[in-house]
């Protein structure tokens, strides 16, 4: 495989960060796609139908989750998260690579457990941060730390999904925002598995802008290629 000049430059720079212990991964939904992860559209398809919306004509998936919550409360959303992510038990080749190259810091908006399990499969001691309470405990001899800033499938009632969840995030999960600010200033991130229709990407990028303003250090991002035709509005 032939790399472009820009790709070679990224590889050289990121390898230096890995060797210095200053590299971090931020994983979105796309990282788990090959393991059977369904995207936001498919996750919310049935819920959208229950509130008489056609998911193919909607783009604000966070709003759909909120509308469903307003009508049915949290139960059905929780069931959806548990049922969709429990079956994801084995990571992909990409998970395996990431677990082997010496990166110690991982952030993710995913509810699955593929990152931590892939690291553990390599014999690594992993510290998880899922709730605020987890910040009061620290594993001294750890190989990696995984911040699950939007929760975990085991606690679907605490997962970040609705507009209310996003709006109250900084109040309810302030420790995550503080930790993220510190890592964004001190480490070089590689963002993986995000696409332009992923509401988490907008949220994370807006958090970076809010937290750091114009002082954001250089980070890297691999984005899913999209077809412009897929985003053309449909008119009846």
Of residues 68, 95, 150, 219, which has the active-site annotation? 150
Question: What local confidence, expressed as pLDDT, does residue 142 receive?
Answer: 96
More confident residue, 99 or 40: 99
Using one digit for the tens of pLDDT, what is the confidence trace for 217-229? 889 988 766 666 5
Question: What local confidence, expressed as pLDDT, does residue 235 receive?
Answer: 45
Note if 219 is an active site residue: no
| Domain boundaries of the chain, sorted by first residue | 5-226
Structure tokens, 121: 């499969």
**H-helix segments, 20-151:** 40-50, 61-72, 75-85, 93-100, 114-121
**What is the DSSP secondary structure assignment for residue 136, as one 8-state letter?**
G
- pLDDT surpassing 60 at residue 181: yes
Using one digit for the tens of pLDDT, what is the confidence trace for 30-53? 898 888 877 788 889 999 999 999
Share of the chain above pLDDT 70, in %: 90
What's the Cα-to-Cα distance from 212 to each of 104, 130, 162, 165, rounded to whole Å? 22, 23, 25, 22
Using one digit for the tens of pLDDT, what is the confidence trace for 101-152? 999 999 999 999 999 999 999 999 999 999 999 999 999 999 999 999 999 9
Query: Given pLDDT bands bounded at 50, 70 and 90, which one contains residue 236?
Result: very low
pTM, full prediction: 0.87
In the Cβ-directed half-sphere of 93, how many Cα atoms lie within 13 Å? 0
Q: Exposure string (b/e) for 116-145, b if CB count within 10 Å is 16 or more?
A: bbbbeeeeeebbbbbbeeeeeeeeeeebbb
């Amino acid at each position: 495989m032939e790399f472009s000049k820009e790709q070679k430059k990224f590889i050289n720079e990121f390898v230096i960060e890995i060797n210095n212990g200053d590299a971090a991964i931020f994983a979105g939904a796309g990282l788990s796609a090959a393991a059977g992860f369904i995207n936001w559209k498919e996750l919310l398809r049935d819920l959208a139908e229950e509130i008489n919306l056609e998911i193919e004509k909607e783009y604000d998936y966070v709003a759909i989750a909120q509308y469903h919550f307003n009508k049915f409360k949290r139960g059905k959303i929780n069931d959806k998260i548990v049922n969709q992510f429990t079956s994801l038990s084995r990571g992909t080749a990409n998970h395996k690579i990431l677990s082997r190259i010496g990166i110690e810091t991982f952030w993710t908006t995913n509810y699955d457990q593929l990152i931590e399990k892939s690291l553990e499969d390599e014999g690594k001691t992993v510290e998880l941060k899922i709730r605020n309470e987890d910040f009061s405990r620290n594993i001294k001899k750890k190989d990696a730390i995984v911040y699950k800033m939007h929760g975990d499938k085991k606690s679907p009632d605490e997962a970040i999904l609705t507009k209310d969840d996003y709006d109250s995030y900084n109040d309810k999960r302030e420790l995550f925002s503080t930790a993220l600010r510190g890592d964004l200033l001190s480490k070089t991130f590689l963002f993986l598995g995000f696409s332009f229709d992923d509401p988490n990407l907008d949220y994370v990028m807006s958090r970076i802008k809010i937290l750091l303003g114009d002082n954001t250090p250089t980070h890297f991002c691999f984005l899913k290629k999209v077809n412009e035709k897929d985003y053309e509005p449909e008119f009846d």
